[in-house]
Structure 1
Amino acid sequence: KVYLVSFRSVTNAVLCALKILENFKYLFPKVESEFQRLQIGIASGTPVTDQEEIFHESVTKAYQMAEFVKDQIVITTAVKAQYENENRNAIIDPVCIRVLTPNEEIFLGALLSFARKHWNGPKFNIGLMSKMLGYSRSQLYRKIRKLTGKAPNTFIREYRLNKALELLRHQKGNISEIAFESGFSSAPYFTKCFQSTFHILPSKFIQLVK
């Protein structure tokens, strides 16, 4: 589940995130730790931009950080500066909170923009990604690994799987159709990857969401 919460101050947002992290393991005591996942992204910005939705840019950035950056609490450089300003230059603890550098924020936006355009096409691969983003393969590997904790091939596969999950959730086709729509070469391979990632067969998932 995804929850969106707004705060009047950056300090309240950061302290709330830390409190949630501290108590998260007690909220679902019967759920095995390997299936517990908490990701929090915090971004700040102006309410109205050239986009239609209120706080569109901030919401998008917060979601991207929570969804794709490996650390549990991730904030932008702007949020860090605001927090330290509100608290007389108190220092954000890097052990508990990941602060994205401006370059990392730009790279994350570019990476996800590329993924949105090419996720279900045959050219959604490291070669094209490297060319379009302007990095060598080795540079791209290091940057994606540092940001997401995953190798580029794993990032690509899981991005496709999450898109497939949404297609299955909204019943946009049968398993074979969605497998090919998501860029997988065969339905059996798709099923294997899906079960490995989500710990459930796609056929069983369809039954649960009907």
Structure 2
Amino acid sequence: MDIHTVDSDEFSAEDVVKAHMEDLAIQDQFGVKQLKYWVNEQAKTIFCLMEGPDKDACNQVHLQSHGNTACNIIEVADNEYNLFMGQGTDVDDLAKTDSGELDPGYRTILLTNIVSFTKKEQDHLKRIMEVIKEHNGIIVREPDHQTMATFMYANDAISCATSIKNLLDKASDNLEFNLAVVSGKPVDEEGETFFEETKLRVNGLCALGLNSQLYLDKETIVLSDKEMSDQKEKQNNFTILDSDDLLFSMNLSKIVSDNFTRSDFTTEDLFNALGLSKSQASRKIKSLTNMAPNQLIQESRLLRAVSTMIKANKTIAEIGYESGFNSPTYFTRVFKKRFGVSPTDFSKQLA
């Protein structure tokens, strides 16, 4: 699958249809078969799905037919394509929504991060999956305590996230969570995997501790507005992020993740790595996560510890040290104070 970014004031779907016909006329010369394409007139982007022997053959079809080569080409597995892009229909290979509008190719990803400190987590995850399906979402993966889903319509994702939060807020047991809703392109100008940038953003946001936050990027709001449905009231539930906020959150998440094992990693180290003053960094972190910097570091370490307990068979001491705590005793004390249960009892629950 490839991406074309067009720098022209006269860009239109009609032009793309013509170029696609030119591709079809010569594709056999290169052993390539054009399958489907998506046009986003406002963003001036095109995505083409094709079968071919290699990336160069696919690019040669565009080069020889009309000269508009791709900015980037990636390989896409059938199962991943079907999960993210299988909705909608097409007319002569041009992707359309079920209502007959142009399908711009963008998708909205919802990631739910949930940990229950009782034995009810599977019950919550089951109900979350039901809510996702009720809102026309497709579950992409269910790794441990997370559920990722993709939506063709941004409005469905926003409504789904709001419904999940309402569900979790009503839970009577000891439960922690956060959610993120981010929209993006199937192929980025750089990168090698499907929805690479969008997945990095949504995962980065959900790595910033179990702080009961709902994150929503402005790209999703733009898509929602185009769908002519009023979601303004539901958007009030979210922390809204623009492109700069998303870049900051990804950088913040990476810095903390890269320093998990360092028990001597301080807020001063964090400020220096961010390249910001104490006041600037504290203000941005507070605005994004509703946490102070030192609390963010500790929350992220605790989330790392919880994730490790779920995924790996390690001792409490090993998990504590790997998560940046300087002693098992200190790790146990902090964990129990935060979650109301000791690491040992939580591990037994998972057995």
Task: Give TM-score scaled by structure 1 length.
Answer: 0.82
Q: Which consecutive unaligned segments of at least 5 residues does structure 2 have?
A: 1-144
SS of the residue corresponding to residue 314 of structure 2 reads coil
| 1:193 Cα offset (Å) | 0.6
Aligned residue in 1 for 2:300: 159
Report the CA distance between 1:153 and its aligned residue. 1.0
Q: How does 1:158-197 map to 2 (within 5 A)?
A: 158-197=299-338
Size of the alignment, in residue pairs?
Answer: 204
The residue number in structure 2 matching 1:12 is 156
State the 1:100 CA deviation.
0.7
Query: Among residues 42, 66, 76, which one is paired with 2:181 in the alignment?
Result: 42
Classify 1:81/1:133 alpha carbon distance in 2 versus 1 (closer, same or farther; 3 Å): same
**RMSD value over aligned CA atoms?**
2.6
More strand by percentage: 2
Deviation at 1:109, TM superposition (A): 1.0
Q: Which amino acid aligns with 1:131?
A: N
CA shift in 2, pair 1:119/1:38, >3 Å: closer
**Alpha-carbon distance, 1:176 to partner:** 2.2
Deviation at 1:182, TM superposition (A): 2.2
Provide TM-score, normalisation by structure 2: 0.52
Select 1:116's aligned residue among 257, 262, 269. 257
How far apart are the structure 1 equivalents of 2:315 and 2:246?
37
Tell me, in whole angstroms, the C-alpha distance in 1 between the residues paired with 2:158 and 2:246: 19
Q: Is the Cα contact below 8 Å between 2:205 and 2:250 reproduced in 1?
A: no
Structure 1 partner of 2:228? 87
State how far apart, in whole Å, the 2-side matches of 1:170 and 1:53 are: 24
Alignment partners' CA distance in 1, 2:232 and 2:249: 21
- The structure carrying a bigger helix percent of its residues is 1
Q: CA deviation at 1:38?
A: 4.8
Aligned pair 1:59/2:167, yes or no? no
8 Å contact kept, 2:252–2:274: yes
SS in 2 for 1:6: strand
The alpha-carbon distance between structure 1 residues 45 and 114, as it changes in their structure 2 partners (threshold 3 A), is same
Tell me, yes or no, if the aligned pair for 2:213 and 2:289 is still in contact at 8 Å. Answer: no
Letter in 1 for 2:194: I
Percent sequence identity over aligned pairs = 25
